[in-house]
Amino acid sequence: MTQAATLGQATVKKALDTYFGGMSRLDMHASISAFAPDGVSDDPRGSGVQRGRAAIEAYFSGLASALESFTIAPTSIYPSGDGVAVHWQATWRGRNGRSGTFTGIDAITIDAAGQITELVGYWDAGTVLAEMSAT
């Protein structure tokens, strides 16, 4: 079995800082700039694959529209080859006055240029999105 080339720590850090930093500012354009132009996102897994920066940005902007504030940060990072698994924690406050905290895992593939080519997210979307959109 051949493993893809291992990414440098600085490359991984830059991609994750761009992605999670933009999300934490609710700046989807900045966050999605971490993706390769033809990047793919399935976040949360099974929600439908978004292909390309424009589709990914539109999807995440739709989710963010219910939020007043949002922070998300990696708690553990596990690199392997051209990928990284990231366990993260997020806190949110909705425009509906509700708030919460949740955790998840993202499986992320990063290319040699340091851009995300694929992101697959795992988190309890049903519960979290219902709270975010409840009236």
The answer to whether position 84 is within a domain reads yes
The answer to whether position 1 is within a domain reads no
Residue 135 pLDDT: 83
**Residue 124: which domain range?**
9-133
The answer to whether position 95 is within a domain reads yes
The answer to whether position 4 is within a domain reads no
Which residues make beta-bridge pairs with 104? 88
Sheet holding 116-122, edge to edge: 50-51, 35-42, 116-122, 99-110, 83-94, 67-80
**Mean pLDDT along residues 104-111:** 98
The answer to whether position 83 is within a domain reads yes
Q: How many domains does the chain have?
A: 1
The answer to whether position 20 is within a domain reads yes
pLDDT band at 7; cut points 50, 70, 90:
confident
CATH of the domain at 44: 3.10.450.50
The answer to whether position 3 is within a domain reads no
Q: Does position 1 have pLDDT exceeding 90, yes or no?
A: no
Q: Does position 113 have pLDDT exceeding 60, yes or no?
A: yes
